[in-house]
Amino acid sequence: MKKGDHLFLVDGSGYIFRAYHALPPLTRKSDGVPVGAVAGFCAMLWKMVKDARDTNVGVTPTHFAVIFDYSSKTFRKDIYPDYKANRPPPPADLVPQFGLIREATKAFDLPCIEKDGYEADDLIATYARLAREAGGDVTIISSDKDLMQLVGPKVAMYDGMKDKQIGVPEVIEKWGVAPEKMVDLQALTGDSVDNVPGVPGIGPKTAAQLLDEYGDLDTLLARAGEIKQEKRRQTILDNRDKALMSRQLVRLMDNVPDVPPLDGLTLQPADGPRLVAFLKAMEFNSLTRRVAEDTGAVVADIEPAVVPVEWGERAHGPDAGGEKPPSPGPSGHLLPQGEKIGVRPSLLVGEGGSPRSGGVRTPPHALRPPAPPPPWPKRSTRPPMPASATPER
């Protein structure tokens, strides 16, 4: 990567939750598998890959990666065992879509990266730093407040659903502090979704006022005895340790070891037939036609891809905050033994391979589940997102 290059980093794990809650339900007609969040994800990816310059991002990426959470067991659990402990299980009709979004990323031939022991946000922070140091610019495709601490002269965020760029002015307008103070603000306010304690009774407005007056969290804690409001003063004095621990939890690690190099994230032209095959399998007819027109692929000549559908604990473990359980195996039709698959697997950092490594499908008998999956739940409405959260992960 060099000066003038532009890296797009998609918060894949966060986007699926946001798409699920924001978009209407959609099921695949052939078998009833829920695919609404996958449809939103695919539409967003194609827009970013093909037409980003025509959005409020205003640039075309030279490098691109989709980042996922791998497991809930991260270094933050060592700091605070109750971190994210109050997360409810994901909705049943979202469960099979976790795996399908990863398959979609592969079909787009985009690097798909996750690392055991770290959250997607830490990988995003690491790549943002590496790109800055190489002279490049970064756009993070997310509206998650946890990532706003990364915003700066070379790093912006982009809300794909609202076509809204999030830079330094937008962070200040929303939270009352500059991006470099977001960690301290979150340390004070805590986060009920992630079970970050913070300081009881301190909300974003009060936290912003305190940081404006005292500069940073360390100074605030050192001078807490000067606070005029008695109740607020005592609360901060009594919860000093919670504030410091909360800061450790919300601060992103930007030096995750052994990540694939930036040069491996170079954006490649879309493989039209491969992508069309996946989109046909998902029965996304409108997007299939658009991709075919843009890539020159002939829809009638392309058979739908064979895409496994996972259900149960395996399907939602990495993204819903649960431990990664033993695999019962995916459902769906499978390719003949040893036949090369047309999409690359996601790269699990630290287990070898590269972001563009190939793969071989396991023989059908080894993957056939012991029983068919339960009927997919049908719903016409979505539960509201938690009021205190951007996408829940």
Q: Model confidence over 263-303: pLDDT tens digits? A: 999 999 999 999 999 999 999 999 999 999 999 999 999 99
The pLDDT tens digits of the residues spanning 100-121 come to 999 999 999 999 999 999 999 9
Amino acid 153: pLDDT: 94
> What sign does the dihedral 174-177-178-184 (CA atoms) show?
negative
Task: Tell me the fold of 171-250.
Answer: DNA polymerase; domain 1 (1.10.150)
Other beta carbons within 10 angstroms of residue 326's beta carbon come to: 7
90: left (phi over 0), alpha (psi -120 to 50) or beta: beta
Residue span(s) of the chain under CATH 1.10.150.20 come to: 171-250
pLDDT value, residue 379 = 53
Q: What is the pLDDT of residue 347?
A: 42
- What's the pLDDT band for 173 if we cut at 50, 70, 90? very high
pLDDT, averaged across the chain = 83
Neighbouring C-alpha atoms within 13 Å toward the C-beta of 147:
33
What pLDDT band is residue 386 in, cutting at 50, 70 and 90?
Answer: very low
Q: Is the dihedral of CA 59, 60, 64, 66 positive or negative?
A: positive
Every domain range in the chain assigned CATH 3.40.50.1010: 6-170+256-367
pLDDT tens digits for range 364-384: 333 333 334 555 555 545 545
- Domain covering 6-170+256-367, topology: Rossmann fold (3.40.50)
CA distance 318 to 182: 26
Q: pTM of this prediction?
A: 0.81
Q: Which residues pair with 67 in a beta bridge?
A: 11, 113
